[in-house]
């Protein structure tokens, strides 16, 4: 567990350093803005926001892995406490008693063993593989991976995240129509997931990109109602997008 915590802290420091570097690289945008080059400014800001989104995704992955490790450690501690208790009672630290012994079952086939592992183990790997492809710029591969993950694991704790990143695979390729559909689906199906606010935020941004400014403004207005406890960063982003699109 300590290893994961150290890795998480290191990644947070790396995130901060990269954000500082991105901010420095974005500074020339101010001079460009004075020259009226708004396209250049928008492009640099989009790059900055995309980089921030990817770095945030890396943090989310580490946090999830750390949570899984903590749960495993808790199960081990509980079993350890039980064994110590049995030793003190003179039972020799026997494992937890199970149901009455019966005929020994036959060994399961490999396919049955894989099924017994449940969708979580294979689902986690599928998600992490898809995210790695996203980081490497393989958007088509990441799209396939995230879509497969959601289809196979619609109730998984990471399903809302996967739906959001599916939308990002489209947005990164300027396929705004499919991006809009993916973000809308993420908001509709996984509204209460950790990525619910991000799905709605990116839905509004995508609508604005498609020229549907009034719809985008309606989405931004809904954000405050649906997510009053959103992060300060998300709220500032909403305010920025509302100003950019001249929302009333």
User: What are 33-58's pLDDT values in tens digits?
Assistant: 454 555 445 555 555 555 556 556 65
pTM: 0.61
pLDDT for position 123: 77
The CA distance from 33 to 131, in Å, is 34
Contact 161, 193 (CB under 8 A): yes
Does the pLDDT at position 159 exceed 90?
A: yes
pLDDT for position 122: 75
pLDDT for position 52: 56
The CA distance from 32 to 41, in Å, is 7
pLDDT, tens only, 203-213: 999 999 999 99
pLDDT for position 60: 66
Show the tokens assigned to 120.
């979580």
Q: By C-alpha distance, which of 246, 153, 163 is closest to 199?
A: 163
Does the pLDDT at position 27 exceed 60?
A: no
Helices 139-152 and 159-172: crossing angle in degrees, nearest 10, is: 150
DSSP 6-68: HHHHHHHHHHHHHHHHHHHHHTHHHHHHHTT-HHHHHHHHHHHHHHHHHHHHHHHHHHHHHHH
């Amino acid at each position: 567990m300590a290893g994961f915590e150290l890795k998480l802290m290191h990644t947070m420091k790396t995130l901060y350093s990269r954000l500082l570097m991105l901010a420095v690289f974005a500074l020339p945008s101010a001079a460009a803005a004075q020259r009226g080059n708004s396209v250049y400014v928008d492009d640099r800001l989009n790059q900055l926001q995309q980089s921030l989104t990817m770095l945030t995704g890396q943090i989310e992955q580490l946090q999830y892995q750390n949570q899984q490790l903590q749960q495993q450690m808790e199960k081990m501690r509980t079993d350890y406490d039980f064994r110590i208790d049995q030793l003190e009672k003179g039972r020799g630290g026997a494992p937890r008693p199970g149901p009455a012994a019966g005929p020994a079952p036959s060994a399961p086939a490999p396919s049955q063993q894989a099924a017994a592992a449940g969708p979580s183990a294979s689902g986690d790997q599928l998600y992490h593989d898809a995210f790695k492809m996203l980081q490497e710029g393989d958007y088509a591969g990441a799209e396939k991976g995230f879509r497969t993950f959601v289809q196979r694991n619609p109730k998984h704790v990471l399903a809302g995240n996967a739906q959001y990143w599916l939308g990002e695979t489209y947005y990164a390729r300027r396929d705004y129509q499919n991006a809009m559909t993916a973000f809308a689906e993420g908001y509709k199906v996984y509204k209460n997931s950790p990525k619910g606010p991000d799905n709605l935020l990116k839905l509004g941004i995508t609508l604005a990109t498609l020229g549907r400014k009034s719809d985008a403004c309606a989405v931004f207005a809904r954000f405050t109602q649906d997510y009053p406890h959103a992060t300060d960063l998300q709220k500032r982003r909403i305010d920025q997008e509302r100003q950019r699109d001249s929302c009333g």
